[in-house]
Amino acid sequence: MRLTVNGNPIDIDADPDMPLLWALRDLAGITGPKFGCGIAACGACTVLVDGTPVRSCALPVGMVEGDVVTIEGLAGADGLSVVQQAWLDEQVPQCGYCQAGQIVSAHALLEEIPDPTDDDIDNAMAGNLCRCGTYPRIRAAIKRAAAEKARTGA
Amino acid sequence: MTVLARLLTAAVIAVLAASPVHAQDAPAVDDDAIAVDREKGLAEWDGIVAVLSHPRCANCHVEDAYPRWSGPHYGATRLHAFNITRGEDGSGFGNAALRCASCHFSSNSSKLHGPPGAPLWHLAPAEMAWWQKSSAEICAQIKDPERNGARTLEDIAAHVRDDPLVGWGWNPGPGREPAPGSAEDTFRAIERWAAAGAPCPAG
Amino acid sequence: MASLGKIARRTFLIGAAAVAGGVAVGYYVYRRPYPNPLEDELAEGETTFNPYVMIGADNAITVIAPRAEMGQGVATTLAALVAEELDVDLDAVTVEHGPASYAYYNSEMLAEGGPFPFFEEGVVAELMRGGMGAFGKFLGLQGTGGSTSVRDGFDKMRTAGAAARQMLLAAAAARLDVEIGTLATADATITHEATGRTLSYGEVAADAARLDPPSDVRLKQPADWRLLGKAQQRTDMRAKVTGAPIFGVDVSLPDMLYGTVRMSPRFWAEPVKADFSEAEKMPGIVKIVPIDTSYGHGFGVIAENTWAAFRAAEAIEVEWGEADYPQDSAAMSAFLREALAAEAGDALRDDGDVDTAFADAPQDRVVEAEYEVPFLAHACMEPMNATARLKDGLLEVWSPNQMPTLTRQLCAAMAGVDTENTRVHTTFMGGGFGRRGEMDYSMFAALLAKETGGRPVKVIWTREEDIRHDTYRPAAMGRFRARLGADGLPEAVDMKIASPSTIASTLRRTFPSLSPLGPDKTIAEGAFDQPYTIPDYRVAAVKADTGVPVGFWRSVGNSFNGYFHESFLDELAAAGGLDPVETRLKLMTDHPAAVKVVEKAAELSKWSETLPAGRAKGFAFTLSFGSWVAEVVEVAETDAGIRIEKVWIVADVGTALDPGIIEAQLTSGAIFGLSSAIGQEITFADGMAEQSNFHDYDAMRIHQCPAFEVAILQNYHKMGGVGEIGTPPAVPALANAVFALTGKRVRSLPLSREVDFA
């Protein structure tokens, strides 16, 4: 079957019931999305499908309709997206394992709500678990990214 | 699977729910027949409300903003984790970047404790609340076009039989107790209850 | 063997890994430096000066930070220690974990293993510390834990950087034929200031490495530090915001197979009967093999992809043997209660005469309480996993682990090869918290690698396996009593804590032939070693093995004793009619560092100001891992339950090398503790853990996360740890806030058993 991942067509030979996560990681070698729970309960595997964040560990690859974007596909040619740069500036990650999912969710949030309030952040990000407790810096980074996007019109 | 499609659907539902459309007048019924059928009707209603108040249905028919979780390994009925809510837009489809559809796809996860799924997974409008409501309250709501999506009883019966999200309640995925009976059984029970004058129990 | 047995008996249980590691390692030449493992790792044109520094002819500088980077930022700070002395910027160095090697022993990890509070500096305590440190070197124990990495590395890493710089200068002086004193270094360049001639480090590296290391290494004075003491950009940040393949689960090797495990959910039990027929029929399955190890019994599944392995593992039909320990949580609780009643325990603190103090105590001046905490899982975000390849007699293991030398040793034994023919590649870790000091997941990978004909196999556990086969934070129960004086202050305190011995449990699964001896201080740490002066003060530890595997969980015994001690102290303050902060200040006057921390926390949090109705604050203080920490938690009543609004943390860490990382670790530790307090517990039924994934074992989410305000102090004369110290006071500060808000004294965890959290 054919997927479009980060703008590239990818042909994979997968059981349609295989979760998108494992198709990406084991078959396509795209390892940015992480395995955390397998039941859509932690958000480490979050990717965008047609712009909507989905938990790829629970989505059968055969049900994917639309372009898939992973953490690897967020950045433009200059290396880091505005959100990733904000994450770097705020020194958000600790172990870093959940951060691909966090960043993908934050991207989706800022697409829908360019200037999110604390409540908007709570509503959007509570599906992404972080065991290191980086939440205060995640909040700061989302606000920084929002400000930067507003400043540059990105 | 696009968000837009889901939101449009949600908007339609919201509009329908809010419209001051009146249900068609109930057909004229013989008074004696009602007296005879009331017992029968109430018995039918007991079967219906056993479905509606079952966690597979009631957990997402809530008055507040929070869907509920219950069942083995979930403890006593509790709020859906992860701060999941109806949505700031009131749509029932969740919030920006954390829609129901981020996890609930068009079919059940085959994994124990994995996310259940059905097309257009969402929370019922708040006025259609069943969770922790009495049989009488649910009955009154079901019959009230202001609070049932402007549906006739026939519409409701058909909705129960045909809507895949409602149908999920009898096919809820691994580890979850299904609602009693079947969609077809419940459709017929609603028909019989309606025929018996759709009596409600005393509140 | 005999001499080590004697050491264990004479001294203390200092960590199973260490005792056992020594036996198996058999390294007796602890005065001699270990060989530099980088000699075997050099690339073309690269030179190594010591086990921590490599410089290429192209001026590429690599620093080895041989501690597990599991989120705590240790790679950055260890590299900064080298870079500071080497006179290079942090972004000019590449940081690597390096190979498993005895050269990377951690002596601090054992130094605080003795039965002395951190502030005890008498002759015996200091001798013990020195002896334990030497013991760590003697064992060649490369490990990350006990919040020791920076304390251990502070001199080692700076010396490595300074020695390399002095050698480079000497080589440059010879090349330029000038006096060393006329040369200056900056940005990896040596300049002869009089003539302006320059040489890069890379140009003289090969010459320099041939010189003998200097016998007198001169370290910079803190006033001259450019990097240390200032927040640095972490060296691992870019990889972590771009989704780079740095974790154990990301290992990718040519021709790799995938796998998982299905282990007995009843610990130590063997399968009674098993049927693979359904599992073996599933597409993509290569092989199902039995796993029989000191960690337990079960099956390994080898497949063409991870998902196929998961599905087949689930499809194995198996009946497991019975548990040979109390079957459920109620029975385990009763077992702890009986142990408390039956045994006197080991008194790790016994000041004054406690028995006499209570013998004539008037009943209305005595406060008594029983506290209890449950087992807890680590629930690292990255499930347990490792990758192994056994080919041509060489075993290679790619493992996100905290104990490389022990991992090497046990994996070698598993695969039947010598440790010399075993290499452990330590990856970044998606969380560790103590769980990755275990060897099970690496051993399982090594075992499966025997079955693949030389192909590498990446073995990832499901989350369910991870939660149900943890080495849990032990459950614990404490009985406490105190006699209050006329001034309301406690004049006698008697504490007894029963808990499974973490060290005995660790020995059982790592080196089962060794029997644990002596008291286990982890049972009472956080209670017996606190800086309070009370005339009659006894804290005793009772070892009570419930049969459930227990291990090191962020802050270990401090994680529950902080709660026990500080919530009980809060009770005493309330009973004595005193303010909780005032009570502590009066009891800790002998310890000025503690007093300053408590005063600062009270000041920052405006402790003395009255809050509006529906809001309240709780206070707690703990000394753990050499750092003095006070936390204040403010809570508010809301419709949805109690909301944790704000947390103030004040920590005296002695010397703060990177305030940015320390701040992150303090909040991280507090959130880890708060997560456990608001809802975590592992319960047992039929010998099996009942929880299995994040739906029933969750942690704090962003919407529950409070605001934080952190102050870092540097008053104490010894450096303290950082990675774990935020956890112990968080739990009691919250419990005490709940009491202040609701009047309800919650004496068991999680608090959610008795109150709702928003």
pLDDT above 60 (res B16): no
Q: How close C624 comes to chain A (CA, Å)?
A: 19
Mind listing the pLDDT tens digit for each residue in C137-181? Answer: 666 778 898 889 999 999 999 999 999 999 999 999 999 999 999
Which residue in chain B has the smallest CA separation from C700? B82
Same-domain pairing of C481 and C518: yes
CB contact under 8 A, A38 and B114: yes
Chain C touched by B75 (CB under 8 Å) = yes
User: Which chains form contacts with chain C, at 3 or more CB pairs under 8 Å?
Assistant: A, B
Are C195 and C256 part of one and the same domain? no
pLDDT at C619 over 90: yes
pLDDT tens-digit readout, C168-215: 999 999 999 999 999 999 999 999 999 999 999 999 999 998 898 888
* Site of tokens 């064992």: C139
Are A124 and B98 inside 8 Å of each other by CB?
yes
Residue A106 near chain B (CB below 8 Å): yes
For residues C507 and C591, state if they share a domain.
yes
What does the block give as tokens for C540? 């005793």
Q: Are C686 and C323 in contact (CB under 8 A)?
A: yes
Q: Would you say residue A77 has pLDDT above 80?
A: no
* Rounded mean pLDDT, C311-335: 98
Whether C304 and C336 share a structural domain: no
Q: Answer yes or no: do A37 and C463 touch at CB < 8 A.
A: yes
Same domain flag for C589 and C539: yes
Residues facing C63 on adjacent strands: C53, C95
Q: Write the DSSP assignment of A18-47 as a string of letters.
A: SBHHHIIIIIS---SS--S-SSSSS-TTEE
Q: Would the pLDDT of C31 be above 50?
A: no
User: Looking at per-residue confidence, does B109 or B37 come out higher?
Assistant: B109
Residue C706: exposure state from Cβ atoms within 10 A (0-12, 13-18, ≥19):
buried
Would you state the structure tokens that stand for residue C71, as one six-digit string? Answer: 């989120």
Q: Residue window 102-121, chain B: list those with CB within 8 Å of chain C.
A: 113
pLDDT of the residue at A120: 98
Q: Of B135, B158, B133, B167, whose CA–CA distance to B49 is shortest?
A: B135
Mind telling me how many Å the CA of B177 is from chain A's nearest CA? 18
ipTM for the whole complex: 0.98
pLDDT of residue C134: 65
Instruction: Judge if C432 and C349 occupy the same domain.
Output: no
Same domain, C145 and C199: yes
Residue C447 has pLDDT above 80, yes or no: yes
- State what percent of residues in chain A have pLDDT above 70: 98
State whether residue A60 sits within 8 Å of chain C by CB. no
pLDDT (average), residues C395-404 = 97
Q: Does domain A2-73 have CATH number 3.10.20.30?
A: yes
Average pLDDT over residues C516-521: 82
What dihedral do alpha carbons C289, C292, C297, C302 form, nearest 10°? -20
> Strand C366-373's sheet: what is its strand order?
C346-351, C536-543, C490-499, C476-484, C366-373
Closest CA to C282 of C253, C254, C302, C266: C302
Tens-digit pLDDT profile for residues C549-573: 999 999 999 999 999 999 999 999 9
Interface check for C639 against chain B (CB to CB < 8 A): the answer is no
Kindly state the average pLDDT of the residues C587-607.
98
- For C273, phi then psi, to 5°, come to -150, 150
Banded pLDDT at C123 (limits 50, 70, 90): confident
- The rounded mean pLDDT for chain C is 92
Report pTM.
0.94
Among the residue ranges B159-163, C32-36, C641-645, the one predicted with the least confidence is C32-36
What is the percent of chain C with per-residue pLDDT over 90, rounded to a whole number? 84
| pLDDT on residue B32 | 58
A70/chain C closest Cα distance in angstroms: 9
Nearest-angstrom CA–CA distance, C155 and C17: 24
Number of domains in chain C: 3
Q: How confident is residue C23, by pLDDT bands cut at 50, 70 and 90?
A: very low
Residue C588 has pLDDT above 70, yes or no: yes
Region for residue A121 given its phi and psi (left: phi exceeds 0; alpha: psi -120 to 50; beta: otherwise): alpha
Q: What is the pLDDT of residues B33-56, one digit of tens each?
A: 555 689 999 999 999 999 999 999
Q: Is the pLDDT of residue A78 over 90?
A: no
Strand spans (E) along C308-461? 317-320, 346-351, 366-373, 385-391, 394-399, 422-426, 457-460
Residue B72: pLDDT band (50, 70, 90) is confident
Q: Two tokens at C498?
A: 């029963």
List Cα–Cα distances, C232 to B87, B179, C299, C741, in angstroms: 40, 57, 45, 40
**Looking at residue C110, what is its pLDDT?**
73
Please give the Cα distance from B3 to B87 (Å, whole number): 13
Cβ–Cβ below 8 Å for B73 and C701: no
Per-residue pLDDT reduced to its tens digit, C668-693 = 999 999 999 999 999 999 999 999 99
Cα three-residue angle C652-C655-C658, rounded to 5 degrees: 100
Domain ranges within chain A, ordered by starting residue: 2-73, 82-152
**Residues in C 688-707 with any Cβ partner in B closer than 8 A:** 690-696, 698, 701-703
Question: What are residue C178's phi and psi, to 5 degrees?
Answer: -135, 170
Mean pLDDT confidence for B46-67: 97
Q: With bands split at pLDDT 50, 70 and 90, how would you rate the model's confidence at B192?
A: very high
Q: Are residues C268 and C252 in the same domain?
A: yes
Which CATH number characterizes residue C310's domain? 3.30.365.10
Separation of alpha carbons B93 and A123, rounded Å: 12
Residue C112 lies in a domain: no
Nearest Cα of chain C lies from the Cα of B82 at a distance, in angstroms, of 7
Instruction: Please indicate if any CB of chain B lies within 8 Å of the CB of A63.
Output: yes
Query: Could you read off the pLDDT of C41-75 as tens digits, one per residue?
Result: 888 888 888 899 999 999 999 999 999 999 999 99
Instruction: Give residue C383's Cα distance to chain centre.
Output: 17
What's the Cα-to-Cα distance from A41 to each of A45, B97, C274, C432, rounded to whole Å? 10, 15, 31, 20
Which pLDDT belongs to residue B142?
A: 97
Helices (H), C211-276: 237-241
Higher pLDDT pick, C575 / C20: C575
* pLDDT at residue C8 greater than cutoff 50: no
Asked whether residue C734 is assigned to any structural domain, the reply reads yes
Q: Do B83 and C692 touch (CB under 8 A)?
A: no
Question: What mean pLDDT do residues C518-542 have?
Answer: 96
pLDDT higher than 60, residue C2:
no
pLDDT at position C263 is 98
Q: What is the average pLDDT across C22-43?
A: 56
C457-460 and C257-263 beta bridge pairing: parallel
pLDDT confidence of residue C5: 32
- Give the Cβ contact number of residue C753 at 10 Å: 11
Which top CATH class is A82-152? mainly alpha
* Residue C416 included in any domain: yes
pLDDT band, very low/low/confident/very high, at B30 (cuts 50, 70, 90): low
Confidence bin at C340 (pLDDT 50/70/90): very high
Q: What is the pLDDT of residue C42?
A: 86
Measure B61 CA to nearest chain C CA, in Å.
Answer: 19
What does the pLDDT look like over C450-481, one tens digit per residue?
999 999 999 999 999 999 999 999 999 999 99
Beta carbons of C702 and A122 less than 8 Å apart: yes
Model confidence pLDDT, tens digit, residues C263-291: 999 999 999 999 999 999 999 999 999 99
- Contact call for C696 and B69, based on CB within 8 A: no
What subunits make at least 3 CB pairs under 8 angstroms with B?
A: A, C
- Among residues C210, C234, C258, the one where a domain terminates is C234
Domain range for C79 is 33-105+140-234
